[in-house]
């Protein structure tokens, strides 16, 4: 039982957070098309020289369907997911964070924010202990009770479900509304979508390069069609061998991996070494022949500010193609 805890936990955390809504490949394509439109429109907006903050209503609805008050910018924020923590720093609101999860390690300044433990089934008492005026939580069913408790305690609680790349713009917009800087939000979303579109526009190899994403060992978990990482693999120009499974983090067998025979296995640092030595995993040609690619899970595993960078790094890793 040898695992790469440091690299695997954040990845699994992200995967486990992925929702159950099936998300077809078409949507990713749609997204690319939409992304270009958005880039185009925002370029226009930039040309017009709009600088004033657009008028906003004092409420938004979050992904639990609850009303969030955004009349006053939040000043003491608890962010319970690595993605939103990164985003708050990108929005220039890092100094307003008073709590994060155990897994929020980027940017380095985030480590100075108090660690409140898990983001899934969080410790409500610990959160209330830092007196936040806004808590951002992942909108999964298991977090529902915590959100209700926090609201009952009078804390503005924003639940966000960011399972897909297409959710990114909305996530940024919601957080930007909460911090009171909607323009910064638009700028971030534009820049991320621009980078993604640049990677997406690169030529695809005639014969698809297939990958198996090693998420977990016992049982073996990988990424399926419904996951953000599957979308990222597609944008990077490769093909996930389990892209046909609707489950975002399906359990699979070694036999099936041998059968689907991927060109590359994507793994975390320590996991890679363990797999190479494992008799059972060596039944996969890619493992036997050393076609293992080590993924920077902290960068790639999170659908956040560095999405563009993540897509670029995956493309460079799998197709050896550097996108400027």
Partner 1 sequence: MRPRTWIALLVALLVAALAGLALGPVSLAPGTVWSALFGNGDANAIAIVQTLRLPRIALGIVIGAGLGVSGAALQATLRNPLAEPYLLGVSGGAAVGAVTAVALHFTSLAVLPIAAFAGAALAVTLVLLVARAAGARGDPRVLLMAGVVVGAFANAAVMVLLAGAPGDTVRGALWWMMGSLSDATWQGTRWIAVYVVIGGTLLLALGREIELLALGEDPAAALGVDVERATRRVYLAASLLAAVTVAGAGLVGFVGLVVPAIVRALGARSVRSVMLGAAIAGGALVVAADVVARTVRAPAELPLGAVTALIGVPFFLSRLRRMT
The single residue among 33, 152, 277, 282 that binds partner 1, judged by CB under 8 A, is: 282
Instruction: Provide the minimum distance between the beta carbon of 286 and partner 1 in the complex, in angstroms, as a whole number.
Output: 11
Alpha carbon distance 62, 192 (integer Å): 22
Report if residue 255 touches partner 1, rule: CB under 8 A. yes
Q: What's the closest the beta carbon of residue 272 comes to partner 1, in angstroms?
A: 15
d(CA 85, CA 91): 10
Nearer to partner 1, 2 or 145 (CB): 2
Stretch that binds partner 1, among 4-12, 59-67, 182-190, 303-311 (CB under 8 A): 4-12
Distance CA 195, CA 20 (A): 27
Task: Check residue 290 for interaction with partner 1 (CB under 8 A).
Answer: no
- Please give the backbone phi and psi of residue 169, each rounded to the nearest 5 degrees, phi first: -60, -40
Q: Which is nearer to partner 1, 126 or 220 (CB)?
A: 220
Q: Does 38 bind partner 1 (CB under 8 A)?
A: no
Among the residue ranges 158-166, 191-199, 242-250, 294-302, the one whose residues contact partner 1 (CB under 8 A): 242-250
Stretch that binds partner 1, among 163-171, 205-213, 248-256, 305-313 (CB under 8 A): 248-256
Q: Which is nearer to partner 1, 128 or 254 (CB)?
A: 254
Residue 219 interacts with partner 1 (CB under 8 A): yes or no: yes
Q: Which residues bind partner 1 (CB under 8 A)?
A: 1-3, 5, 8-9, 12, 216-220, 242, 245, 250-256, 258-259, 261, 279-280, 282-285
């Amino acid at each position: 039982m040898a695992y790469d805890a440091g690299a695997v936990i954040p990845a699994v955390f992200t995967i486990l957070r992925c929702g159950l809504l099936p998300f077809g490949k078409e949507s990713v394509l749609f997204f690319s098309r939409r992304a270009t439109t958005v880039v185009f429109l925002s370029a226009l907006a930039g040309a017009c020289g709009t600088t004033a903050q657009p008028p906003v209503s004092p409420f938004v609805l979050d992904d639990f369907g609850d009303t969030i008050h955004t009349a006053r910018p939040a000043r003491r924020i608890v962010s319970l997911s690595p993605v939103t923590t990164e985003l708050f720093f990108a929005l220039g609101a890092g100094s307003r964070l008073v709590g994060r999860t155990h897994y929020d390690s980027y940017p380095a300044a985030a480590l100075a924010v108090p660690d409140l433990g898990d983001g899934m089934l969080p410790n409500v008492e610990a959160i209330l202990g830092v007196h936040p005026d806004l808590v951002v939580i992942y909108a999964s069913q298991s977090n529902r009770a915590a959100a209700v408790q926090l609201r009952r305690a009078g804390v503005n609680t924003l639940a966000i479900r960011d399972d897909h790349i297409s959710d990114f713009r909305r996530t940024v917009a919601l957080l930007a509304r909460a911090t009171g800087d909607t323009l910064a939000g638009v700028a971030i979303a534009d820049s991320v979508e621009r980078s993604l579109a640049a990677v997406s526009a690169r030529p695809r190899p005639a014969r698809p390069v297939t990958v198996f994403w090693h998420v977990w060992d016992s049982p073996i978990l990988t990424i399926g069609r419904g996951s953000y990482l599957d979308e990222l693999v597609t944008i990077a120009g490769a093909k996930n061998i389990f892209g046909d499974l609707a489950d975002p983090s399906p359990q699979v067998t070694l036999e099936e991996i041998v059968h689907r025979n991927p060109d590359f296995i994507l793994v975390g640092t320590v996991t890679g070494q363990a797999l190479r030595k494992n008799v059972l995993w060596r039944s996969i040609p890619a493992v036997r022949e050393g076609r293992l690619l080590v993924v920077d899970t902290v960068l790639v595993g999170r659908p956040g500010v560095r999405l563009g960078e993540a897509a670029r790094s995956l493309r460079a890793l799998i197709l050896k193609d550097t996108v400027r």
